[in-house]
Amino acid sequence: MIRAIRGMRDLLPPDTERWHQVELAAREVFRRYGYREMRLPLLERTELFARGIGAETDIVAKEMYTFTDRHGDSVTLRPEATAQVVRAFLENGLARTAGVKRYFLIGPMFRYERPQKGRYRQFHQINCEALGSDAPELDVEVILLLVDILREVGLKDLRLLLNSLGCPVCQVDFRAELKLFLFDREGWCPDCERRRGVNALRVFDCKSSHCQKLLEGAPALIDFLCPDCARHYARVKELLGRFRVDFTEQPRLVRGLDYYTRTAFEVTALGLGAQDAVAGGGRYNGLIRELGGPDLPGIGFAIGQERLMEVLPAAAADVRRELVFLAYLGAAAKDRALALLGELRAQGLAALMDFDDRSLKSQLSLADRLEAAAAVIVGENELQEGAAQVKWLADSRQERLPLGELAGCLASRLKAHG
Ligand SMILES: [Zn+2]
Ligand SMILES: [Zn+2]
């Protein structure tokens, strides 16, 4: 037997149905906020991510699925969406007109991480990107949108963590101060040892508890904000308060990418560890220019779908699907059942039947295993009388319905049930 690749997993029903509900809810919220969908390739040139995420980040340095194609080009399965949304934005000329461009993207991402519980090498994200404005009102719109999606899908007890990463102007002083702090202490892990020389901010990403302990008392970026960044951050906090969104300021929050500026945020949920955010995002004002475009700002977020599903309340245990199962006895009844099957489906009902001439008993137990709402039984008697026996499988209640009105009757009863 050939097995799936390590770290990859199959998503099967009924999980796929729950995923679909979550995605539908997200799409509905995006619609309300005027965001429209992009669908982009899974494969991009490696260079896009090296430049768009930052060569010193863990993602680019250790976690990318990179290989050489038949032509000899280095290509990478996308590890995140922002860089490629910006690539598509520039390549398709969307930067040429004024105004904020609002997009969302839903799909799989790939990172070569050590597989562990709840972490997969193919994972899924719901992404939001708003390009073309530096207004703090846009930061707040994006955060409100995120909170709305998470509430809409039923997530309770969520916690919003907020920080400002400043701009290149205020980061200069901060980096200098941080470097002094990092070189003042010894005992960093080999990664941080290297990072403190080349990209000091990345030390904050280190997962080693020893490094995290060494970082206690490190300078915080919010103490170095220039007047513009300070004003921006204050306005974001003021507006969040006005929209009654609770938040906690988290000076250590830096995000795992190089091009984040100003507002950075994460949402954690009860039931997940502090390190496991359900969603995270922030501003990336330097990224569009870094990728060869005009000097335009942008902001976005990503929701981790696997983690979101992990913390959502479980679906009710005994939910019958809105499915009608047609059982038949004998060849004539089989033909009639086939015709009925077509009628039910044409009326918009979910209906199916077995074709293998099993006993009535095994057809009914099949219906039960499929969690059908109702089983319709068609036999010789039913054909003669022009009526079918309908068994409601949740409570075993039975009734007779005229064959001619079957579709309409079942539809109205199923609607009353749902
Ligand atoms: Zn600044
Ligand atoms: Zn470290």
Domains of the chain: residue spans and CATH? 15-167+226-311 (3.30.930.10), 323-417 (3.40.50.800)
Distance, CA of 376 to CA of 391 (rounded, Å)? 6
Measured from the alpha carbon of residue 212, the closest ligand is 2
- Structure confidence at residue 289 (pLDDT): 95
pLDDT at 415: 78
Q: Would you state the pLDDT for residue 202?
A: 84
Q: How far is the CA of 8 from the centre of ligand 1 (A)?
A: 41
Closest Cα to residue 401, out of 338, 411, 373, 350? 411
Contacts of 119 (CB under 8 A, 6+ apart): 7, 113, 306
Low-confidence ranges of the chain (pLDDT < 50): 317-318
Distance of CA 164 from the midpoint of ligand 1 (Å): 9
Do residues 279 and 301 lie in contact, with contact meaning Cβ atoms separated by under 8 Å? yes
Using an 8 Å Cβ cutoff, are 257 and 57 in contact?
A: yes
For 218-262, the pLDDT digits (tens) are 999 999 999 999 999 999 999 999 999 999 999 888 876 678 899
Distance, CA 166 to ligand 1 centroid (Å)?
4
> Does pTM surpass 0.85?
yes
Residue tagged 């004003």 (tokens): 231
- Supply the pLDDT for residue 30: 98
Buried b (16+ CB within 10 A) or exposed e, 100-111: bbbbbbbeebbb
Q: In angstroms, what is the span from residue 88 Cα to ligand 1's centroid?
A: 28
**Cα 236 to ligand 1 centroid, rounded to whole Å:** 15
- Which residue in the block uniquely carries the two structure tokens 């003021």? 238
- Say which residues have a Cβ less than 8 Å from residue 242's Cβ, sequence separation at least 6: none
Of 42, 407, 58, nearest to 202 by C-alpha is: 58
Q: Quote the ligand 2 centre to 207 CA distance (angstroms).
A: 7
CA of 80 to the centre of ligand 1 (A): 26
Q: Enumerate residues with CB within 5 Å of ligand 2 (an ion).
A: 189, 192, 206, 208, 211
Give the whole-angstrom CA distance, residue 156 versus residue 152: 10
CA of 254 to the centre of ligand 2 (A): 15
CA 61, CA 206: separation in Å to the nearest integer?
13
Q: Is the peptide bond before 14 cis (omega within 30 degrees of 0)?
A: yes
pLDDT of residue 365: 96
* CA 262–ligand 1 middle distance (angstroms): 8
Q: Please tell me the number of the ligand nearest to residue 263's CA.
A: 1
pLDDT of the residue at 269: 87
Nearest ligand, CA 169: 1
